[in-house]
Amino acid sequence: MRTLLPHGVLNGERNPAKEGMVMETSELENHLRVLATLAADEVSPLLSVYLDVRSEGWREVLEKRVQALRPAYKGQARADFELALGQVQSWMARRLFPDTKGVVVFARAGLWPHLQGLQFGVTVADHVASGELPHLGPLVELKDNYDRYVVFVALKDAVRILEVDLGAVTRELWSRHPFLRERAGEVWGRRHWDEKSNRAEPERFWTEKIKLLDRLMQLGGHSHLILVGEADAVRDVRARLPKHLKAKVMELLSAEAHDQVEDVVAQTLVSFLDREEMGSRDVARSIFVELKRDGLSVAGLPATLKALRQGAVETLALLKAYRSPQGWVCRACGELGLGHVPAACPACAGKLKSADLREEAVRLAQASGAHVEVVGSSGILEDLGGVGCLLRFKPDGVKE
């Protein structure tokens, strides 16, 4: 089994050489902002490719999905489609890192060429789409599911503090912060800072490590903490945490010094995803509560789209299984509507095109800086039509 760190055990060393290969949430957010604001191209299609690359079978998956898309394009559009596909294949052949599990590539040729490839330490579901704009829904869902959190590993005679970002260990947190060099002293020059407990001063050892954890959580802006390790050590750490850190603890998990880091991280991911889903359901409940008191929320696709267009949305909530009805968007003014495409835009008489309104909602949310919550299951959100949002302010002309 491959490990994320050398020796593959909880008391092993980190691997600085691998740190640059891991996509982090902040970097993904930057990519999404670029993608959400790309200009449409009526002639040259943009390919959105999501692939699970844990085996060589991704090549066959890509070709099979592409075959279904080719017949939609003729002439110059078809030529540009093939050029974009070639860019995807070339990028995949040259850029994949050995530990990559999921890949997302966006490619377009023509007058406004674009090529953007992203690699992840977690898998993505195979999906290939083409159109005037990138297909962002699965990427936003991945970002929502795999947020950042800190793992504090407590063993009888050692401590490690790991950051998990988008499903993979990105770093041992203390290795990034200059103020720790003074505290680590001459040990800092080694490839890792292996903090061994001084059995004669256990109280001082744990007090220092918890202060260190507190400082690192503040510096990194972390709000989620999972305690992992040998049972007695984990309980001891939990009891010593100050109230503000206890409030950030999501789970207490068992692990031994010889455990594979990959297995331990996978265990924390299961716990984190469960908590993330609970948080998503809380958002759905908040939307319902605000609706009942005529507060800062709206539900249903028409009201949600209007609020998004006005930049009034704080959090957009979508059921994972939600599929929007047929809709359209105006190329000139951006007006959105449900149903068959009219002859002209009712707002500006501009040219219209058919649109996936779920994708349009996600794109508007990303462009305006709204958070997107993808909810696995929620009876409340289902009753509200599968989509709703919490608002920054009440938009004009929007009703529940």
> What is each CA distance from 83 to 47, 77, 88, in whole angstroms?
10, 10, 9
Supply the pLDDT for residue 399: 60
Supply the pLDDT for residue 131: 95
Supply the pLDDT for residue 379: 95
Quote the pTM value: 0.81
Domain covering 21-143: architecture? 2-Layer Sandwich (3.30)
The DSSP-derived string for 327-357 is EEEETTT--EEESSPPSS-TTT---EEEEEH
The DSSP-derived string for 92-132 is HHHH--TT--EEEEEEE-TTS-EEEEEEESS----EEEEES
Supply the pLDDT for residue 75: 96
Q: Which amino acid is at 124?
A: V
Say which CATH superfamily domain 279-391 falls into: Ribosomal protein L30/S12 (3.30.1330.30)
Supply the pLDDT for residue 331: 92
Supply the pLDDT for residue 18: 43
The residue extents of the domains of the chain are 21-143, 147-259, 279-391
Say which CATH superfamily domain 147-259 falls into: eRF1 domain 2 (3.30.420.60)
Q: Which residues of the chain have pLDDT under 50?
A: 1-20, 174-194, 197-199
CB 56 within 8 A of CB 49: no
Supply the pLDDT for residue 218: 86
